[in-house]
Structure 1
Amino acid sequence: MKGPSNYSFRRATPSDLSMIRRWLYLPEVTRWWGDPVEQIEIITEDIELAEIATLIVSYRNRPFAFVQHYDAHQWPQAHFDPLPESTRCLDAFIGVADMMGCGHGRMFLRLLVDMLIERGAPLIAIDPDPTNEGAIRCYEAIGFVGHREYETSEGPCLLMTFDPKRQG
């Protein structure tokens, strides 16, 4: 999948796991994603599942980010229960330090959101840690709206949604 501004998305494969593992060890990624060993085990399990799209994001052919999207009701989590059928949920991180804080997250996530809406998703959800102010500002800049905080087995999260009907 190729988007404007030289961003592209491709399905992650097992050969990407060593790169993803390196990214997970960056302090800023570990801060929000937790134990890299645990996370790479989860991603390794998920990478070949049809139910979850695990993607590598590149800018000008340079891989720099990981994003996954999945049906909100595929992996039951109480804070996703009220969301409409076919809502897509996102998890993402930038794994290259010199590409953090430059607007790349805002750009590639908005492209992905637009693609998912075009494919029929009625709503897009993301659930950052409520103290991850940088991520929350990024998501708000794209058009996500914060709703309420939840306590989950993974810790606290802020449920945010992107509703295409609320966009200009």
Structure 2
Amino acid sequence: MTTANRYSFRNATLDDLALLKGWQSTPHVREWWDADEPYDADDLADPRVARWIVSFSGQPFAYMQDYTVHGWDDHHFAHLPTGSRGIDQYIGDPERLGLGHGSAFITLRMQAIFDAGAPVIATDPHPKNARAIAVYAKLGFAPSGPPQETQWGVVLPMVAKNVRGA
């Protein structure tokens, strides 16, 4: 079994809310993720956002979401081409940090998003989150403007273009 085959994504469900709340309460997630607003049934049903539990060798360890950047009238990525998606994620299990899991599972999800036809994938880490910015740069993202204040906080907008679909 290849390493890529050891990662799996499944839709987050109501049964995962306690797991997500637990992950969001850890210091390494709280530093960059707004854990004061846990998900609820309405969030999970929002058709603009695909929410994923990421597992490695069958063990859940991370959360990822991808969303249509055109789902909100005032979204800071609304200027991107039709079909563009945004991504956010975190590794919930602190024992999985610093081992290359983030780069691996983000790459897999990016491939799936590009294969589905997205021309651009956007992400928006906090400008001081050097670890996330370095991972995104390694995966082909580049800043697409200066840091900016959004309804979700201060972000550094970054984009990766689908070069295979071009």
User: Aligned to 1:45, what secondary structure does the other structure show?
Assistant: helix
User: Aligned to 2:148, what secondary structure does the other structure show?
Assistant: strand
Number of the residue aligned with 1:91: 88
TM-score w.r.t. length of structure 2: 0.91
One of 138, 148, 165 as aligned partner of 2:163: 165
Higher alpha-carbon deviation: 95-104 or 148-157: 148-157
How many residues end up aligned between the 2 structures? Answer: 162
Distance of 1:58 and 1:77 partners within structure 2: 33
TM-score w.r.t. length of structure 1: 0.90
Deviation of the 1:48 alpha carbon: 2.1
Number of the residue aligned with 2:10: 10
One-letter code aligned to 2:8: S
RMSD, matched Cα: 1.8
- Decide whether the 8 Å contact of 1:123 with 1:164 is kept in 2: yes
Number of the residue aligned with 1:144: 141
Identity of counterpart residues, as a percentage? 37
User: Aligned to 1:79, what secondary structure does the other structure show?
Assistant: coil
| Structure 1 segments unaligned to the other structure (5+ residues) | none
Distance of 2:140 and 2:164 partners within structure 1: 9
Deviation of the 1:166 alpha carbon: 8.2
Number of the residue aligned with 1:50: 47
Number of the residue aligned with 1:156: 154
User: Aligned to 2:117, what secondary structure does the other structure show?
Assistant: coil
User: Aligned to 1:28, what secondary structure does the other structure show?
Assistant: helix
- Decide whether the 8 Å contact of 1:13 with 1:48 is kept in 2: no
| Structure 2 segments unaligned to the other structure (5+ residues) | none
Structure with bigger helix share is 1
